[in-house]
Chains A and B, each alone.
Chain A
Amino acid sequence: MINWENYEEYMMMLADGELSPSETDELKTFVKGNKELEQEMAYWMATRIVPDAREVFSGKENLLKKAPAGRIVNMRQLWVYGIAAGILFLLFAGLLKWKGNSEVHDTSVVIAKPDTTHVQTQASATPRVTPLVAASPITPVTVHTTKTPLKKIVAHAPVKKLLPEEQKENTTNNMATVEKPKTDAAQIAVKQEMPTKQETVVQKQDDKNEESIQHVEQPLVKTEPDNVEKPGRSILSRLSAFSYTISMRQKFSTVSCTLSKV
């Protein structure tokens, strides 16, 4: 209720804009008809400071911020990403190290394996041992195909079917042709034992080094169709094969020793 004791407070609250519409109407009704109160109310309302809208801040452009072009990354969480990256790096490094150790272990095995495989592959690829041992006396026969023309030997194959006299002649002729490059020991062996030309070649082969054997064996397998096994020939061939295997084992042992040292 507005009266003469509290009307100033109502007028100040009206100037502050804190009166409700009903209170405002009540105050206006109380003041109405009294010029002194109307003048006083005008003074109170004049104390309100109205802002000047023309007065503006001219440097707004300097206050504005540009939005980042890329994705916004919360810098506070960078340490989490750093730790995660570190863990991943350690795991990757550990994996690489473990794999490297296993590879080193494997290589040590592989170093040993290639020697064996090398020998095996050599033996399997070029029938140096098995054909000689298992097979056949054929291989020595073909030795001459390199040093002596194979055509001559092949030409003499059917000579077996001929008469012994003719065969002897042929063999002597062949021996004469064949034995030219041979050593004297081989010639003597051939003359004494009177072997076939194949046997003489085998004897000669025993005297030869391994390289000549290796070099010669391949064409023999291809060219010699004779699978007939003769006791003397097989012994000699087995002996030669045995010597060859011993030499190969020696080679293998030396190679393995060098590799193990490496």
Chain B
Amino acid sequence: MEVNDYNACVHQWADGLFRFARKWTCHEEDARDVVQNSFEILWQKRREVQVTKAKAFLFQIAYRQSIDIYRRKGRVIFKEELETFENYIPGSPDLKKVLERALAQLDEQSRALVLLKDHEGYRYDEIGQITGLSEAQVKVYLHRARKVLKDYLVSVENII
């Protein structure tokens, strides 16, 4: 990978990587750190990474870094999300905000699977390569996560 390829990756994947990290860590500054560290590692290993594998490489690094951040700050995030949920005003439903709250209730692995699937459109096998899971595991975990999200939406709908 040459400099031009690296810069093209920055222009093409920085926003998606930031959104992925932002949704996962629920913290903008942590997400910025994840993006910067991911591209710094990509630059250091640019001789070893092919251009076609750059996106998967970036998300793999971001996934590992986000796991570390989530495990360090998981309880704090959960508390913040609970406070947000408590401030939720029934009667003004906003599907996007409800989904964000539902997503915050997932464990870090399920959340990563949902985000990789919905944000980036990866297939099961590609998600398995990024997360280190098998394709069957990805499918099972992803379906469990969707069921949790669906149940949450149904519950909120019932409350409303």
List, in ascending order, chain B residues with CB within 8 A of A62's CB.
36
A49 x B119 contact (CB < 8 A): yes
List, in ascending order, chain A residues with CB within 8 A of B114's CB.
47, 49
A9 x B143 contact (CB < 8 A): yes
| A59/B146 contact (C-beta < 8 A), A49-B114, A49-B119 known | no
For A56, the closest partner residue in chain B by CB is B15
For A49, the closest partner residue in chain B by CB is B118
A60 x B19 contact (CB < 8 A): no
Render B127-160 as a binary contact track against A, CB cut-off 8 A, 1 for contact: 0000000000000001100110110011000000
B residues 1-53 touching A (CB-CB < 8 Å): 3-4, 6-7, 10-11, 14-19, 22-23, 32, 35-36, 39, 43
| A43/B150 contact (C-beta < 8 A), A16-B142, A57-B15, A65-B43 known | yes
B103 x A49 contact (CB < 8 A): yes
| A67/B118 contact (C-beta < 8 A), A43-B150, A56-B15, A56-B18 known | no
Cα A76 to Cα B118 in complex, Å, equals: 42
A49 x B23 contact (CB < 8 A): yes
Check: B95 CB closer than 8 A to any chain A CB: yes
For A65, the closest partner residue in chain B by CB is B3
Render B35-73 as a binary contact track against A, CB cut-off 8 A, 1 for contact: 110010001000000000000000000000000000000
Cα A63 to Cα B35 in complex, Å, equals: 9
B7 x A65 contact (CB < 8 A): yes
A72, chain B: closest CB distance, angstroms: 9
Main SS at interface, chain A: loop
Cα A65 to Cα B10 in complex, Å, equals: 10
B157, chain A: closest CB distance, angstroms: 8
Cα A207 to Cα B22 in complex, Å, equals: 121
A43 x B10 contact (CB < 8 A): no
Check: B82 CB closer than 8 A to any chain A CB: no
List, in ascending order, chain B residues with CB within 8 A of A44's CB.
146, 150
List, in ascending order, chain A residues with CB within 8 A of B154's CB.
43
A residues 15-69 touching B (CB-CB < 8 Å): 15-18, 43-44, 46-52, 55-57, 59-60, 62-68
B6 x A43 contact (CB < 8 A): no
Check: A12 CB closer than 8 A to any chain B CB: yes
A12 x B115 contact (CB < 8 A): no
List, in ascending order, chain A residues with CB within 8 A of B15's CB.
55-57
Cα A57 to Cα B11 in complex, Å, equals: 10
A59 x B36 contact (CB < 8 A): yes
A66 x B18 contact (CB < 8 A): no
Check: B124 CB closer than 8 A to any chain A CB: yes
B10 x A66 contact (CB < 8 A): no
B139, chain A: closest CB distance, angstroms: 8
B14 x A12 contact (CB < 8 A): no
Check: B76 CB closer than 8 A to any chain A CB: no
B residues 112-129 touching A (CB-CB < 8 Å): 114-115, 117-119, 121, 123-124
What 5 pairs between A and B have smallest CB-CB spacing?
A57-B18, A47-B149, A49-B118, A57-B14, A67-B3
